[in-house]
Amino acid sequence: MKKEKVSKLKNLENKINYRFKNLELLKEALTHPSFPNKDEKDKLINNQRLEFLGDSVLELIVSEYIYKKLSSFSEGELTKIKSIIVSKPTLAKWANLISLGKYIVLGRGEDLTGGRSKLSILSDCFEALLGAIYLDSGLKKTKKITLSFIKDEIDLISRDNYIEDYKTLLQEISQKKMKCLPEYILIKEKGPDHKKIFCIEVKLKEISYGTGFGDSKKEAEQNAAHNALKKIKIIH
C-alpha cells in the first residue's frame, strides 16, 4: 500500500480514535460499490456487506442505550427516537463530522456527480465503518465509539431540548432531496364527535407517499409522515 494511502487512513483513524488491527477491513468499509475493486479470486469487494452488519450493530447499541438512559419513555417514544438516531440524515451528519466523504473510494462517475456528499453514500459508509470496527475489535469497542457520536443527541432528548418528530424529519428530507414541502390532506374522518378517527394523506410534489390514522389530525399526520419515511427508506 502506498505511503500516502496509509497516511490518509491513519488520519481517519485519528478522527475516530481507533487503530485497526486489520487495515483491510477499513479499506473495505470505505469502498463504494461503484468502484471496480476485485480480489485475487476476481471477487468484487465493496462495503455493502459491512454496511449490513454495521446497521444491525448500530441498532443494538442505540436500542440498549436509550432503553437504559430513557427509563421514563414509552415503547413508542423509544421507537421514534431510535428511528431518528439511526436515520440516514443523522448518520450522514456524523459522517461529515469526521470528513468521511473524502476517504471514500468511489467510481469515477459517482465521484464526478458529487458522490462524496450524497446522504445515502455517507450514511451507508458510516454503517460499514461501524461494521468493520465490530469485526476488528468486537462489540465493546464499537459501542464506545458509537456512543461518542450519539450521547450528546440522546442527552438533548432526555432534557427535552431536542424536539424531533416524523413530520419534521420528513420536511427536512423532502426539502433536501426533492426541493418541496410535504402536503397533508384530510381524506376522511369517522366516529362520533368525542371519539373521531382521522385519516390523513401526505403528498410530495402531488404524489401520495403514505396515509396515517389517529385520534387527532396531528397524530394522523405524524403517522402519515412515518409511513412516508418508510416508503423512501429513511427509517425501517
Q: Using CA atoms, how far apart are residues 202 and 219, in angstroms rounded to an integer?
A: 13
Q: In terms of domains, do 192 and 135 share one? A: no
Neighbours of 178 (CB within 10 A): 14
Q: Using CA atoms, how far apart are residues 183 and 201, in angstroms rounded to an integer?
A: 8
The secondary structure of residue 102, as a DSSP letter, is G
Q: Decide which of 158, 179, 205 is a domain's last residue.
A: 158
The total number of structural domains that make up the chain: 2
Averaged pLDDT score across all residues of the chain: 86
pLDDT band at 235 (very low <50, low <70, confident <90, very high): low
> Domain with 67 in it: what CATH number?
1.10.1520.10
pLDDT of amino acid 73: 81
Q: Using CA atoms, how far apart are residues 63 and 142, in angstroms rounded to an integer?
A: 14
Q: In terms of domains, do 12 and 84 share one? A: yes
The more confident residue out of 213 and 84 is: 213
Q: In terms of domains, do 223 and 203 share one? A: yes
Contact 105, 193 (CB under 8 A): no
Show the DSSP H helices in the chain as ranges: 3-16, 23-29, 48-69, 75-85, 88-97, 108-112, 119-137, 139-158, 166-177, 217-231
Q: In terms of domains, do 35 and 149 share one? A: yes
Neighbours of 64 (CB within 10 A): 11
Q: In terms of domains, do 20 and 105 share one? A: yes
Domain span at 204: 166-231
Q: In terms of domains, do 34 and 57 share one? A: yes
State the distance between the two ends of the chain, measured CA to CA, in whole angstroms. 38
pLDDT band at 114 (very low <50, low <70, confident <90, very high): confident
For 111-133, what is the mean pLDDT?
92
Q: Is 12 a domain residue?
A: yes
pLDDT band at 53 (very low <50, low <70, confident <90, very high): very high
Q: Is 48 a domain residue?
A: yes
Residue pLDDT, tens place only, 4-41: 566 788 999 999 999 999 999 999 999 999 887 655 55
Q: Is 29 a domain residue?
A: yes
> Domain with 191 in it: what CATH number?
3.30.160.20
Contact 202, 230 (CB under 8 A): no
For 218-225, what is the mean pLDDT?
89
- Among left, alpha and beta (phi > 0; psi -120 to 50; other), residue 8 is alpha
pLDDT band at 163 (very low <50, low <70, confident <90, very high): very low
The secondary structure of residue 38, as a DSSP letter, is B
pLDDT of amino acid 201: 96
Q: Is the pTM of this model over 0.85?
A: no
Q: Which residues are catalytic?
A: 55, 127
Q: In terms of domains, do 105 and 41 share one? A: yes
Q: Is 197 a domain residue?
A: yes
Q: In terms of domains, do 49 and 75 share one? A: yes
